[in-house]
Amino acid sequence: MIKWICFCDSSAWLTLLYSCKKWGNVSLGRLIFNQMIQLENSLSVAYTLMHDIYVVADMQQDAEKIEAMPVDSCLEKKETMQKHVS
């Protein structure tokens, strides 16, 4: 199933990741999250969902690792560029 979904857009991945949060499926959530950040690491919501999955599962160290990961946010880049242009 995971290999087939590789061709979907990020909204499909986010839906699956949210489902993992809702049902407490850490192992599947981790697989989906890793796939998502390989495809597009600028979706901060993916990092938030994975962090929350770990927190609910009482896996604080893993949650802290997610917090420490860099997010290549297009929005942050746009805001920085706008400050320089203004």
- Rounded Cα–Cα distance for residues 76 and 42 (Å): 10
For the chain, domains (ranges, CATH) are 2-85 (1.25.40)
pTM of the model: 0.74
Kindly report, residue by residue over 42-73, the tens digit of the pLDDT.
888 999 999 999 999 999 999 999 989 887 65
Kindly report, residue by residue over 20-43, the tens digit of the pLDDT.
999 999 999 999 999 888 888 788
3-state secondary structure of 43: coil
52 Rama class: left (phi>0) / alpha (psi -120 to 50) / beta: alpha
- Rounded Cα–Cα distance for residues 34 and 50 (Å): 10
